[in-house]
Structure formats: C-alpha cells, structure tokens
Structure 1
Amino acid sequence: MSVLQFDERGTRHIVRLYSTPDVVRQRAEVLALLAARPGERVLDIGSGPGFLVASLADAVGAEGAVHGLDRSAPMNAVARDLVADRPWVRIDDGDAVELPYPDGDFDAAVSTQVYEYVADVPRALSELRRVLRPGGRALVLDTDWDSVVWHVVDRALHRRVMTAWEEHLVHPHLPAMLPGQLLRAGFRVTGRHLIPLFNPRLEENTFSALNIEMIARFVRGRQGLTDEDVEAWTADLRERGAEDAYLFSLNRYCFLAVAE
C-alpha cells in the first residue's frame, strides 16, 4: 500500500478539487455544523490548502484564534498565503497523532478527510480529545469508498480500478467505526450527518471529473492494471458523459461530538 503523497503536484490538484462547487457546498455544510462563534479558539487538523481555515477565521473574528495543522509543506505554503491577511490565524507543521498544543487549548476542532489516512486512529482521536477543553466540540468527516456509485459499462474493470484506488489511504471504510472510536476516546457523539457528492453529468469543474484524473494516475501498475486498462476505464466514463448517461455519487459521513 502507498497512500497519496501531497507534494507540489498533488497540492495543485487538491486546490482545484477543493474549489469545485461540490466541495464548496460540503465546506459550507461543515461550517454550519461546527458553528464556530466569535472569540473561539478553533483547530483544523489536516488543513490542506487552508480554505476551511480561512472561513473559520472569518467566523471567530480577530478576538478568536484559528490554527491549521498539516504535515505537507506545499499545502502549508498555500494555506499561509491564503490567510496572510488574518493575523489571528496560524498554520502549523505537524501530525494528527501528535498534536503540538497544550491540553484543553481549543473550544472546537474539525478534521475533514484526514483520519482515513492515519494508521493509528485511536491515538489520533485521543490527541483530539486532549487538546479540546471539556465540553469542546469536534467534527470529523471521512469517506467510505464502498458508497461510490459510478456508471460504467465494464463493471469488472471498474472493480479492479476501485480496488487499486483504495490503496491510496489506510482506512477506505473508516466511517462505520468512527462513532465507537470517538466514544472510546472520551467523546459523546451528538450528531451523525451524511453529505453526498452527486454529479449527474460529466462536467469539467466537478469532484468526479477531477478524481478521474487523480485515480488514473494512482492506479497504473496496481492490481495488475496496465496503461491500456486505465485508458479503457477513463474512456468508458467519458463515453457515458458524451451520451448524457453519466452518473457519480459518493457519501461523506460527518460526526459531531462533545468532549466529556
């Protein structure tokens, strides 16, 4: 297994992906659910290019504070540029399993599409609990790749591609386990929400169109997939788009919890 590496090329792709209307809508739902308030201290674990950090900074205002944390230097460089005009924001280098903050330092924390890449999820959730004050809020969002629906003709090839794609992370089916793991880490789960990403047409600036590119690059040579196999898979999807017979859907699972 080799998880995705968010180097400079990967960072540019993530910036494009996170700018699509699909992910913009997801981010708006996450912000509404976390409901950061003026003056609060908020942590974004796995902050990536900083889009969510910037929105959180606007929510808490200059009387509050927002920290974004990511292990990718290229991601952090983009994020620092984005929030340079907000002095109450800091982008830190670090890892979800060893958060560089004191106990009880934050009123709220959020982590979107991060723990599925973390080998030791119980330790990461324990760290999340540690840095929250008692009664602090946590929002965790991850994907179960069993939830993907993608219209293709060659189903056998598609299954091989998706099996290879699951190698890009550690826990491709994490959400089902998250409520119990949050409970064991010292949280009370207060909300369970589904955020679907739905593309009924193949359009350039969509989550699924950009994922076709990323998946195709990643799966070549995995699960015995040749260049010809990957090209056939992408052609299958693009033919569905040309025929107006395209459909893509994927579920994101979002859990709200309170630190006990």
Structure 2
Amino acid sequence: MGDAPDPLRFDAAAARRIDEIYATDDVVAQRRAVIAALAPVPGERVLDLGCGPGYLAAEIAALVGPGGRVHGIDTSDSMLAIAAARARPPGAAPVELGTGDALAVPLPDGAVDAVVCTQVYEYVDDMPAALAEARRVLAPGGRLVVLDTDWDSIVWRSRDDARMARVLAAWDEHLAHRDLPRLLPQLLREAGFALADARVVPILNVGHRRATYSGGMMELIAGFVPGRRGVDAAEAAAWSADLVSMGDDYFFSLCRYLFTAVR
C-alpha cells in the first residue's frame, strides 16, 4: 500500500516534545474518547500498541486494577523511558513495557482481551499484516480500538496558502497512509474483524497557544520538513513564524477517527 514513509526520529528531545503534546487539553480529551471506546474492566489484559510516553497505558492500568495487566510496546527507547517513569496510582495493574512494533508484537496468541492503537497504523505500510498481528494476540471475542487521522481533513489558516501546501506536502513524507481512516472499515472486515462502532474525534484550536496540539506539532513539523518537497529551513521557519504571529486570529482544525472492532 505505497512506499514506506521517512519516519520521524523520536530521539530524547522529540520524545519530550511529544510528551508535552500528550499533556495538552486536546490530547487529554482524545484520550478520554479512546478509553470510553475501549471500556476496560477490572481484570482485563490490554495491549497498548505504540504506547509512546505512556499516558494511556497508565490510565488503562488504573481501570483494569491489580487483577489485570497492561502491555505497552513502542519502537522508540526514548518513549519507553518516559513511559517507564509515568506515575501510576495505587492499585493499578502492572504495566509491562518493551520494544516492538505493529508487525511483530512480542506476545503469544490470544494473550490479551483488548488492543488499543492510537496514531500508529498511519505509519505502517503493510496494514493487512498489522491487523492480522493484532487479531493474533487477541483472545476470541476480544476488541481492537484504533484512532488515526485523515490528513485531508486539516484546516490550517495561513497568510500564504501556497507555502502551507508545500509544508504539509513535505510533512506527508512521514506517513505511510495520509487517509487511513476511510480505508479502515474495509481493512478491518478483510482481516476478520466485525466493526462495532466508528466516530469522529475532532481537534480545534482557535487562537495561538503553544500548549495545544497544533502549537506543539508546529515545532515537530518545522523540524521535519526542511530538505523535503523543496522546503528549506528558512521557509519552514517563516511558515512557523507566520502562524505564531496570527495570535487570536490563528485557526487549526483536524479530524481523527475512532473505530471499535471485535475479533
């Protein structure tokens, strides 16, 4: 399904910035929607596939309690280090963290009751294989919760629309699928899942603040795009400065899509 992306490099600095973005009100609200869809209950075994800085894994651990278990895997050692330091309340389930990816989950067949995967599959080129792997580690009747972005849904005000288009085209190079949500119902069905629910999870930022999803992502984007699609460092800096200078007139909107499927 296309060429493999040129991925973001989650070194220690990038991992810290992602950690800050995950603490914003925008992503906290997104996490509430994911947990509502997952609906974890005490005693369940849950895999957080691509756990990042560990916020979701920690919250799930509190909900499944001491009789449950949470597995968190990620490809980034920097992310796993942040996740390992994430505080969990008394009575939370153990959280086992380790290196792995969507195509090679280090768990046996039928090991978990639920798999949750947020903002990961859009980076995975071979989605049929990834969904087969998720199905493999799920017990019969287990559920898969997926959240991903359709990047065609982005609305980002700029004083230079042509420059915005160039920057976003360069940003697309970190993705395997810029439009994965529209394909997921078919992909899930072909992988042997029954789709139980689908809904939209929007992000809206009006007025510029660094402590928002888009305010944080600006820095990651500006660091990634130079040298791609004809965008250089000066243009990336000008793009970012223009957005910051809009102040109260700043506008950003993006739609993510949340799917619940049953094995």
TM-score, shorter chain, exceeding 0.5:
yes
Please, which runs of 5 or more residues in structure 1 have no aligned partner? none
Give 1:226 shift: 2.2
Aligned to 1:169: 175
Distance 1:216 1:34 in 2: 34
Matched, 1:202 2:227: no
Q: Residues 50 and 83 of structure 1 are in contact (CA less than 8 Å); yes or no, is this contact kept in structure 2?
A: no
Aligned to 1:33: 37
Aligned ranges for residues 127-138 of structure 1 at < 5 Å?
127-138=133-144
Q: Residues 48 and 73 of structure 2 are in contact (CA less than 8 Å); yes or no, is this contact kept in structure 1?
A: yes
Aligned to 1:223: 229
Which of 65, 68, 77 is 1:64 aligned to?
A: 68
Aligned to 1:82: 86
Aligned residue type for 2:42: P
Q: TM-score, normalised by structure 2?
A: 0.94
Give 1:87 shift: 6.0
Q: Residues 64 and 93 of structure 2 are in contact (CA less than 8 Å); yes or no, is this contact kept in structure 1?
A: no
Aligned to 2:131: 125
How many residues are treated as equivalent by the alignment? 257
Q: Residues 105 and 133 of structure 1 are in contact (CA less than 8 Å); yes or no, is this contact kept in structure 2?
A: yes
Aligned to 2:148: 142
Aligned residue type for 1:73: D
Q: TM-score, normalised by structure 1?
A: 0.95
Give 1:232 shift: 2.1
Aligned to 1:49: 53
Aligned residue type for 1:138: L
Give 1:181 shift: 0.7
Please, which runs of 5 or more residues in structure 2 have no aligned partner? none
Question: Per the alignment, in what secondary structure is the counterpart of residue 82 of structure 1?
Answer: coil
Question: Per the alignment, in what secondary structure is the counterpart of residue 246 of structure 2?
Answer: helix
Give 1:83 shift: 5.0
Q: Residues 54 and 82 of structure 1 are in contact (CA less than 8 Å); yes or no, is this contact kept in structure 2?
A: yes
Aligned to 1:152: 158
Q: Which runs of 4+ in 1 moved over 6 A?
A: none
Question: Per the alignment, in what secondary structure is the counterpart of residue 249 of structure 2?
Answer: coil
The alignment's C-alpha RMSD in Å is: 1.3
Which of 20, 41, 55 is 1:16 aligned to?
A: 20
What's the % identity of the aligned pairs?
A: 50
